[in-house]
Amino acid sequence: MQQTATLRHLLEETDRFITCVELVTSRGTLADRGGKRVLEMAQALAADPRFDALSITDNPGGNPMISADALGTPLKESGQEVIIHLSCKDFNRNGLMGQAWKLADGGFDNILTLSGDYPIAGYQGQSSGVFDIDSVGLLQLLSDMNEGHFEDASPGRKPRPLKPTRFFLGAVVNNHKRLEAEVMPQYFKLAKKIRTGARFIINQIGYDARKQDELLKYMALHGLRVPVIANVFVLSGGVARFFHAGRIPGVEVTDELLAVAQKQAASPDKGRAFFLEFAAQQCAIARGLGYRGVYLGGHIGAEEYGRILELAAQYAAD
C-alpha cells in the first residue's frame, strides 16, 4: 500500500496546486451495479498520482444513497486520501457526534461540512429534513471534538476527558450569486465558518471567472487566510439544461452559456471535446487567480478527468 500525502500536508505545508475529484455515491450496496461502477472509477482515479484526494458525497440532492464512509473505506485502505462529506439534513446534533466518532475511528480526518440539501425522496414518502444545527454549528461541534472538550460521563464513574479528534475541516461558499444582497450573506457566513474552524474552502459550482476572482479578493481584503479550492463541474448539453432550469440551488448557467452548450452538444461527439477543454480552461484560470487547487465533478469517467488535466497543463504552460 502506497500512502499519498495528506490533504492537510498539501494545503498547509506546500504550495502545490492540488486536484480533487468528487465521487457521487449510489443507491444500494457496493456489490450492486451502481456501487460497482463508482468503486471501479474511484480505484482508477486512486491509481493515478495526479489526483490528490477523492471527495465522497453524503446523500446528494437529498436522495438516499450508501454512506460516504462505506465507499471511502476500501479507498483509504489502499492508501488514497479521502474527503468525507457530512451534512446536517439527516442527523440531529447527537447523531452527528456519533457519525463523527465513527469517522474518526475509521481514520477519516478530512471532513467537508455542509448544511445539506433538503430531502426530496424517502421510504414510502418524502423524508423530513432534520437541520438541528447548520454547517456553522457542525463546524463548532467538530472543532470542540478536536480540542478535547468532551468527557466520558458514564453513570457511577468519574468523568474522563475523551481523546481529541484530528479532523481537518472544510466548508463551502457560494460566491456566484449575482446581486450584492445575495452574495454578501454568503461572505459573512464564510467568515463565521473560518472563525469556527474551517481550514479549507471549496466554492459552489459556477462558470463566471469574475466571480472566482471576486471571492479571492474579498477574502484577502478581510484577512480570511485559508486555502480555497475552485469547483469545476464538467458541463454537457443535459447538465447545462439542468443547471439553467435552476434545479440545483445557487448554480447558474446563463442563457448565453446554455446556447453555446446546446450548439456543442449537437456536434458528432456530443460536445465531449469542447466540454473537456472548457473545464481545462476553468482549471487554468483558477490556478492563475491563485486558487490552491481544483475540485472536479461531472458525469464523466476517470480517463476524461485525466484528459482535463492534460489540457489544463497546456494552458498553464502558456
Q: Is 24 exposed, middle or buried (0-12, 13-18, 19+ CB in 10 A)?
A: middle
On the question of pLDDT at 64 being above 80, the answer is: yes
Q: Is 2 exposed, middle or buried (0-12, 13-18, 19+ CB in 10 A)?
A: exposed
Kindly state whether residue 64 falls inside one of the protein's structural domains: yes
Whole-angstrom distance, CA of residue 2 vs CA of residue 123: 41
Whole-angstrom distance, CA of residue 58 vs CA of residue 72: 12
Q: Which of 9, 80, 45, 48 is nearest to 292 (CA)?
A: 9
SS3 content of the chain, % helix, strand, coil (to 5): 45, 15, 40
Query: What's the confidence (pLDDT) of residue 82?
Result: 99
Kindly state whether residue 262 falls inside one of the protein's structural domains: no
Whole-angstrom distance, CA of residue 73 vs CA of residue 75: 5
pLDDT band at 248 (very low <50, low <70, confident <90, very high): confident
Kindly state whether residue 43 falls inside one of the protein's structural domains: yes
pLDDT in tens, 131-145: 999 999 999 999 999
CATH of the domain at 62: 3.20.20.220
Kindly state whether residue 267 falls inside one of the protein's structural domains: no
Kindly state whether residue 54 falls inside one of the protein's structural domains: yes
DSSP state of 30: T
Q: Please give the residue range of the domain that contains residue 146.
A: 17-233+293-298
pLDDT in tens, 93-149: 999 999 999 999 999 999 999 999 888 878 898 899 999 999 999 999 999 999 999
Whole-angstrom distance, CA of residue 299 vs CA of residue 270: 13
Query: What's the confidence (pLDDT) of residue 316?
Result: 57
pLDDT in tens, 16-26: 999 999 999 99
Q: pTM value?
A: 0.95
On the question of pLDDT at 9 being above 60, the answer is: yes
Whole-angstrom distance, CA of residue 195 vs CA of residue 56: 25
Kindly state whether residue 225 falls inside one of the protein's structural domains: yes
Kindly state whether residue 98 falls inside one of the protein's structural domains: yes
pLDDT in tens, 265-315: 999 999 999 999 999 999 999 999 999 999 999 999 999 999 999 999 998
- The pLDDT mean for the chain works out to 95
158-162, 197-201, 289-293: range with lowest mean pLDDT: 158-162
Q: Which of 116, 256, 100 is nearest to 164 (CA)?
A: 100
**Alpha helices of the chain — where are they, by DSSP H?**
7-13, 33-46, 68-77, 93-105, 135-146, 180-196, 209-221, 237-244, 255-265, 272-289, 302-317
Task: Output the nine-digit C-alpha cell for 212.
Answer: 472566482
Kindly state whether residue 222 falls inside one of the protein's structural domains: yes
Distances (CA, A) of 205 to 27, 155, 228, 231, 279: 24, 48, 13, 5, 12
Query: What's the confidence (pLDDT) of residue 154?
Result: 76
How far does CA 165 lie from the centroid of its chain?
Answer: 21
Q: Indicate the number of domains in the chain.
A: 1
Amino acid at 62: G
